[in-house]
Structure formats: structure tokens, C-alpha cells
Amino acid sequence: MSVVELADVTYAYDGRPAVEDVSLTVESGDFLGLVGPNGSGKTTLLELLTGLLRPDAGTVTLFGEPAHRFSDGTRVGYVAQETTGTAGGMPLTVREVVTMGRYPHAGLGRLGRDDHESIDEALETVGIAHLASRRISTLSGGQRQRVFIARALAADADLLALDEPTVGVDAESREAFYELLRELNESGLTIVLVEHDIGVVTAFASTVACLNRRLYFHGDALEFTESDALRAAYGANQRLLEHRHH
């Protein structure tokens, strides 16, 4: 079953296309790594495929329906880039943030025992149960990203979308973070990960989409490194890319 289908999708800012004519399908159980040079439209594409942005042309179908219907944040968990200020500034505890994931399920009523169990389980799964009563402003970047994943799990999200989640996270925690994503994917969660580090994507993702405004490659992660798409999409940035990987 496909989770997301993009057909001939174009999106422009002030008349300048950031994403052009992209067709792409994400199947249930995929772990898709979305790569491309800086400014190649990765964030824009992630926002399109989660229904946060509506395309200027083409269609985005999420769970068989127009994508913008899912902006209520239950079936799609969106983990934004770790930017200073926003999340860190919220005077909330870890448990409070994860609890937000449950409210759409509880409706107007109070949270029930099932909801609290679901919150506890989400905290356990991402390995932050011991941090439940900490304010999120006191956490490291990597821990904070886990909180947002737990919120998505508490919401029973079917798709987890992450935008360069480990920018500013130290190397050791990064590895553990991607291991967590792999485990979540192995237990059935569909994941789309925007990531500038191609080494991470080929090590952890099962499929790769390579973007530079247009889609240059979509297929098996192992085939990607051997394809010409990398060179074609990165063009003059290729040297920088090789430098980064050796």
C-alpha cells in the first residue's frame, strides 16, 4: 500500500520553482532518505508530501486522500529542524509535549488510562522515560528530537517525516539516533528523512530520492551510490560531497 503519492508536483516561491515536476511514491514500510544539495528543495518537498504545503501544480495523495486533509498532526508526525529558540524556549516538560500527541485521540474529554499507557510506551520506545519530568529546554538537541518522535508515536502516526534531525547533534548521539529510526522502521513505521549526509542515508535508509529541484533518482539505497544521479544532481558540489565522505 502506498502512503504518499506525488504526481507531477511543482511548487514555486515568488514564481521561482523550488520543486518541479516531481513524481514519487512512498510505500508503507519504506525508509526513504531524501538527499540533495543545499537549497535543492528537500524541505519544500517534505512539506508537500506531509500536506503542510499545497502544490501549485500536480497532486499529493496521503493515505489515499488529498494530503492537506492530514494537517491535524495525527497520522503524520513531523519533526522539524532543530532550530534554536522555538522548541527549546517552550516551558514544557517532556511528558507534556508527548501528551500533546494524545489530545486529538482523547477528543474533548480528559485523557484516559489508554492514553497514559500510550504516552508511557512512546517514552520507553525512544529511550527517554527517565527524562519525563524534565523541561525540554534542559535537554540536548538529540534528546529533544526524541521527544518529538515520542509525540508522533503517542499520536499513532503512520508516517514519520524528519527534516535534518541531527544538525548540531554530536557524532555518537547521531549514530544512536539513526539506530532508533531504523528500529522504528523495522517495527513498521514509514519514515521519510531529509538528510544532507549521504553516508547516513545509504547506511540507514532503504530507498533514496535525490533532488535538485527535479528528481534525479528514486530507488534502492544501495544502487544510488553507484548511479550517475549523484554526480548529475550535485554538479559542481560533487567535490565538496566527496570531501565530506572521506
- Nearest-approach distance from CB 42 to ligand ADP, in angstroms: 3
Q: Which grid cell is 150?
A: 515520542
Instruction: Note whether 78 and 52 are within 8 A (CB).
Output: yes
Stretch that binds ligand ADP, among 38-46, 60-68, 70-78, 105-113 (CB under 6 A): 38-46
- Kindly provide the residue ranges of all beta strands, DSSP E only, lying in 31-139, ordered along the sequence: 31-35, 57-62, 65-66, 76-79
41 binds ligand ADP per the rule CB under 6 A: yes
125 binds ligand ADP (CB under 6 A): no
Residue from 24, 32, 33, 40 that binds ligand ADP (CB under 6 A)?
40
Q: Which of 9, 44, 147, 195 is in the footprint of ligand ADP by CB under 6 A?
A: 44
Question: Among 4, 6, 35, 43, which residue sits at the site for ligand ADP (rule: CB under 6 A)?
Answer: 43
Q: Measure the CA–CA gap between 26 and 56, rounded to whole angstroms.
A: 20
Q: Does 36 bind ligand ADP (CB under 6 A)?
A: yes
Helices (H), the chain: 42-49, 94-100, 103-106, 113-125, 141-154, 171-186, 198-204, 221-224, 229-234, 238-245
**CA 213 from centroid of its chain's CA atoms:** 19
CA distance 11 to 22: 10
Cell of 165: 534531525
Specify whether the CB–CB gap between 4 and 60 falls below 8 A.
yes
If the CB atoms of residues 153 and 215 are measured against ligand ADP, the closer one turns out to be 215
Which listed range, 35-43, 64-72, 111-119, 124-132, lies at the site for ligand ADP (CB under 6 A)? 35-43
C-beta of 40 vs 207, nearer to ligand ADP: 40
Site for ligand ADP in 145-184 (CB under 6 A): none
Q: 233 is written with which cell numbers?
A: 544532481
Alpha carbon distances (Å) from 115 to 99, 107, 133, 144, 152: 8, 11, 17, 21, 13
Residue found by looking up cell 572521506 in the block: 246
**In the numeric block, which cell numbers belong to residue 21?**
515536476
Under the binding rule (CB under 6 A), the answer on residue 50 touching ligand ADP is: no
Closest separation between CB of residue 104 and ligand ADP, Å?
Answer: 27
Question: Binding to ligand ADP by residue 55, rule CB under 6 A?
Answer: no
Interface of this chain with ligand ADP, residues 15 to 34, rule: CB under 6 A = 18
Complex with ligand ADP: residue 68 or 196, whichever CB lies closer: 196
Q: Is 13 in the site for ligand ADP (CB under 6 A)?
A: yes
Judged by the rule CB under 6 A, the positions of this chain that interact with ligand ADP are 13, 18, 36, 38-44
